[in-house]
Amino acid sequence: MAGLPASPAFANPAANAIAEFNTPPVAAGAVTATTVCAEAGRKRKIYQAMDNGITSGGIPLVTPAEAGLADLRHAESIALAYGVAVAPPWFAGAMGPIEAQLANMTISRANRRVSYYLKSVERLNF
């Protein structure tokens, strides 16, 4: 089994400059609990940036699809460190379709969140 490649580049160049968002490649035999924790921390920080709507140059720092890929990378690190048996049940054998579904789901969730906020603002505008 291959190791973890370097974390993928973000669409917003400012996100690529944030060290906590980017993790180096890890060889297959070197993926440990420390790697899993680093990926969990990376995922949390990426979701915080997305949920808080942080932008750089008027462009979102992190897209919902990029946050979803952080989920997949975390799950992959779990599978490499502990074996597929303890990875999330959806992990084994279906990554391609799941990545597409996850991208659509995170975009949908972000759209619902925007819709909710817009409705809240409308209520405030007498």
Give a yes or no: residue 6 inside a domain: no
Assess whether pLDDT exceeds 80 at residue 95.
Answer: no
pTM for the complete prediction?
0.66
- Domain presence at residue 26: yes
pLDDT tens track for 79-94: 888 876 665 665 655 5
Q: Report the C-alpha gap between 81 and 2 in whole angstroms.
A: 12
Is 116 inside any structural domain?
A: yes
Residue 105 structural domain? 13-124
Q: How far apart are CA 102 and CA 70, in angstroms?
A: 11
Number of domains in the chain: 1
Q: Kindly give, in sequence order, each residue whose CB lies less than 8 Å from that of residue 27, ignoring residues fewer than 6 positions away.
A: 3
Q: How many CA atoms lie within 13 A of 122 on its CB side?
A: 6
Q: Would 80 be classed as within a structural domain?
A: yes
Q: Is residue 3 part of a domain?
A: no
5 assigned to some structural domain: no
Share of the chain above pLDDT 90, in %: 25
Tell me how far apart the alpha carbons of residues 29 and 100 are, in angstroms, rounded to a whole number: 28
